[in-house]
Amino acid sequence: MSDPILIIDDDEGIRHALSLLLLEEGYTSLQASGPTEAKQLLKDHIISLVITDLNFTQDTTSAEEGLALIQQVRAEDEQLPIIAITGWGSIEIAVKAMQVGANDFVQKPWENERLINIIHTQLQLAKAKQRTQKLAIHNQLLQNELGFVSGLIAHSEQIKHVLTTLSQVAKSDVSVLLTGENGTGKSLFARYLHDLSNRKSEQLISINMGAVSESLFESEMFGHVKGAFTDAKSQRIGRFELADEGTLFLDEIANTPYSQQAKLLRVLEEKQFEKVGASKTQSVDVRLISATNADLNHAVATGLFRKDLLYRINTVQIHIPPLRERLADILPLAHYFLQRAVEKYAAQGRILTAQAQQALQQYHWPGNVRELGHIMERAHILAPTEHIDVEHLNLTPIQQVQATGSHAQTDNGPLLTLSEVEQQTLAQRLAHFDGDAVSAAQSLGLSRSTFYRRLNKAIK
């Protein structure tokens, strides 16, 4: 059932007649006898449409009170459909009503069929506008995403097992937690899961929780109303509302500020939230997918993550293996990224020599698939001929990190630059902690965000 229609009229008989007409057509309604009561109902409830008289007890002919109410409602909500209805109608008043924000104008006594058609049309237009607004925001979010995107390459048994598991849980609405190191493609697998689900016709909304500051958390996740704070020039739709009836992907969920985790838990449990600056409660229906490269059990033990939130997000937990454990995928992925580079730069194709292929398979890949994508694009640009050899990959000895955390440079190897030393240290620590970037960062005395930034810089 849709949200109620608000009827505003000082005549109880009019309100009752409209309420019965709406009920016969399957609509619910709320009633207000004047502007003061109407404003309170608009503040406390989600309203789908307003039908308002223009003349109340203060003045029964000028329509000034009703026009002022329409203007105030429109200032608070740019999308809410408003139908003005009055027994003292004139072309001048109708024009004024439309100028201050009414979507249509009806004169009393009304024709039931015409009024219902107007109501239906305005509700459909409002839904279409909302869909357009959500789509525009979603497209902008996609344009701003900087993470790697590729096709699914699944030659290794490890990834085939992951895809099988994702297929098994896709049709349900259970929360899924994807774990794995940075760059393994967790966002790609989230997209794969969404595309197999019953929600595939709706949107997948992604957000990196590490990029959401504590001060903007509620506005980013739940939205805000116009005037909620100094810079709130207009109403904003939050990520939960954008993902309604679709899928919400919370990447790097371990980075959610602890002070905000209770608010996240509440909307996941109750499926309700309030925009910043609003008292009305909105309902939401989302399928949650989360991802992290951190050990959340360790984060719970150290007081950085709520245990009840962990239970809520990990109904099914799926580990995405690092690239070094997926040897069968390395060369197919390398060729895929080379082909992407050819298409991107409209250039001649490149061929990996046997030595280059061997080097790729022996490399430890601390940056995983994302790093492979960067390296293949760079090699495509730097190779002077159609053949890409080892030197074009730029896999220097200090990058040849083994799972034990050691590296290929010997005591007689070349002296390293400061940047190379940093690359080596980051890679060693990441390997030592089995890809747990949070633990690696703590061991170096770095914040998580600083570690991520330096790691991404090192593999570019």
- Domain-wise residue ranges, the chain: 5-126, 145-319, 323-459
Instruction: Give the Cα separation of 95 and 98 in Å (integer).
Output: 5
Indicate the pTM of the whole model.
Answer: 0.65
* Fold adopted by 323-459: Helicase, Ruva Protein; domain 3 (1.10.8)
pLDDT digits (tens, 9 = 90+) for 253-267: 999 999 999 999 999
Same fold, 5-126 and 145-319: yes
Under CATH, which number does the domain 5-126 receive? 3.40.50.2300
- pLDDT of the residue at 320: 96
pLDDT digits (tens, 9 = 90+) for 2-43: 789 999 999 999 999 999 999 999 999 999 999 999 999 998
Under CATH, which number does the domain 145-319 receive? 3.40.50.300
Mean pLDDT per 10-residue section of the chain, whose length is 460 residues: 86 93 93 92 91 78 84 88 84 86 91 93 85 63 43 86 94 95 93 93 90 88 84 84 94 92 95 89 94 94 95 96 93 91 84 93 91 92 90 67 40 59 73 68 74 62
- pLDDT of the residue at 272: 93
